[in-house]
Chains A and B, each alone.
Chain A
């Protein structure tokens, strides 16, 4: 939102100071992005960090994100905490009650993939995106409140590039992936063997371990 972000200087330059020209699309997106009321779907540990984020120290109210435990009032559902099979229909119903347009933030590993419960649990849903279209994922167990604030900023960027015309998206200069497929492509690109990036696979080196390392195998925890 280049124009509206520079609203102060734009006004100064206009004699008399009253008129700004912009498209309705941009203005609507700007206003949507500045006041994302959050539906706290706090089920487990991450809810504590969600509360912490909304209290004095982190205070994400200043981003216009206000926790409101009523689906009818909210724009974004913050899925904070483990989702079990028993809880899933309740969350689904709350999600269906939220008016369009709506977004979802998956906060914490449990809602990203099942997290620590992925391998062993018989009752945990492996990731919120099994039943809710998630826009922003935050990793962490639990993520810090700053991560949640960062997620809200990223979501705002996503909101800013949506169009009020259904199904359309205005082209903007953003670094965010436009779909999950694109995000996966980027991840794959980072994983190619030629890449020297942080996600490059470890090179297998045939080297004998020094004997003192082997002796350390039963070391302390």
Chain B
């Protein structure tokens, strides 16, 4: 494996003068590529002409690994897919297995899943907003958002004992019921979080520098968003009203009243702002879920070895990055015959090569930050 980049080609500008095309390699270890992303950029002066994202530096082969494990042993692996939003991959996988094996889930567990996933959405968006802001020079915003994220991580730690890899959503329910007083803490967090969001909106999105850095950068048209398979805030920033919670609804989401914020310009600014407004909506969903929740069991007893009948199941949920799908094929043995993850970050990152060309090199990190890739999920 080499890290060499291809040789330069001499081109000629409009006056016939020889112009050397500059090839810049960014990554795979670069603080603004959000992990191990690598981008090879061809430059004409300071303007990007061709952008080639190179992925796979975190390809761990989770799909093949799950063929060597039992159905329940795969759940911890899904934690490591999207490490900023572990609950989503847990849930998507468990829904697929529940569908495959015909397992019913108690109602309280569904509510708990909704609550933790909406909290996770806030945590993930805080990370996305903060790192995107940090990349464009607004380090203060990163510290504000990370503070909010830390509060959610503390709540998760109280709930399931882990700060990052929760393994909380399991086939048939969730692993534990909430500790005493936890829901009150979450409600208090939601109330405080709204004020913080307003403050962040003023601090970052009201800032003239952020507007200058993000407005009109990486414009994605609604047609392209649909054709390229974009989902989540990336598609909604372009005005595509597509949210699985509303439009292919699952779990107990039909019982909640919430809006789907969409942008209109499809630029980096709108994508960021959509994330911020989604946090308000998540707070609304959490409050409704806590008020509707009733006492009851949180998991269905299952045998230690699941042996679903031969068949296949696909389940998708709206994760913080978009529609996260899991496709599981069973052949009747205790191991999955095939497990595939349809990763939203992977599909969204593919857009980089059509969004970035035409902009200055310094705008690359703004575009990449607005796509919010998490490389655990991109590379799997």
Contact = CB atoms under 8 A, between A and B. Distances in A.
A–B contact via C-beta, under 8 angstroms: yes
Given A69-B30, A89-B2, A94-B29, A121 B65 contact: yes
Given A44-B58, A117-B60, A120-B64, A90 B304 contact: no
Nearest to A94: B29
Contact of B65 (A56, A69, A86, A120): A120
Interface residues of A, number: 43
Contacts of A218: 303-304
Interface stretch (A15-23, A30-38, A46-54): A46-54
Interface residues of B, number: 44
A116 B164 CA distance: 15
A192 to B, nearest CB: 33
A163 interface: no
Nearest to B76: A116
Contacts of A48: 83-84, 127, 164
B42 interface: no
B299 A220 contact: yes
A50 B330 CA distance: 38
Contact of A90 (B57, B68, B165): B57
Contacts, number: 118
Contacts of A44: 35-36, 58, 80, 83, 375-376
A81 B164 CA distance: 13
8 contacts: A40-B31, A41-B29, A43-B58, A82-B80, A87-B36, A89-B1, A90-B57, A220-B299
A49 B164 contact: yes
Contact of A85 (B1, B143, B302): B1
Contact of B150 (A45, A57, A84, A117): A57
A155 interface: no
A42 B304 contact: no
A111 B266 CA distance: 40
Contacts of B69: 120
Nearest to A82: B60
Nearest to A40: B31
Interface of B: 1-3, 28-31, 35-36, 56-61, 64-65, 68-69, 72, 76-77, 80, 83-84, 127, 143, 146-147, 150, 153, 163-165, 170-172, 299, 301-304, 375-376
Contacts of B172: 221
B146 A56 contact: yes
Could you say which of A120, A123, A221 has the most chain B C-beta atoms within 10 Å of its C-beta? A221
A44 B204 CA distance: 27
A106 interface: no
A69 B31 contact: yes
Contacts of A220: 299, 301-302
B61 A144 contact: no
A91 interface: yes
Contact of A87 (B2, B57, B171, B302): B57
Given A44-B36, A90-B57, 9 more contacts: A43-B35, A52-B146, A81-B58, A87-B36, A87-B58, A116-B77, A119-B68, A142-B164, A221-B171
A142 B163 contact: yes
A141 B147 CA distance: 22
A221 B73 CA distance: 11
A69 B29 contact: yes
Contacts of B76: 116
Contacts of A88: 1
Contact of A86 (B57, B146, B171): B57
A123 B58 CA distance: 9
A84 to B, nearest CB: 6
Contacts of A90: 3, 28-29, 57
Given A44-B80, A221-B172, A89 B164 contact: no
A144 B1 contact: no
A120 B69 CA distance: 9
B59 A123 contact: yes
A218 B84 CA distance: 34
A124 interface: yes
Contacts of A51: 146
Contacts of B58: 43-44, 81-82, 84, 87
Nearest to A144: B163
B108 to A, nearest CB: 16
B103 to A, nearest CB: 11
A9 B169 CA distance: 56
A59 B282 CA distance: 29
B166 to A, nearest CB: 12
Contact of B83 (A45, A116, A144): A45
A62 interface: no
Given A86-B57, A89-B3, A93-B3, A47 B64 contact: no
User: Nearest 6 CB-CB pairs, A to B?
Assistant: A220-B301, A45-B83, A120-B65, A69-B31, A120-B68, A87-B57
A124 B170 CA distance: 26
A186 B162 CA distance: 30
A189 B35 CA distance: 40
Nearest to B302: A221
Given A44-B80, A49-B164, A91 B61 contact: no
A123 B60 contact: yes
A55 interface: yes
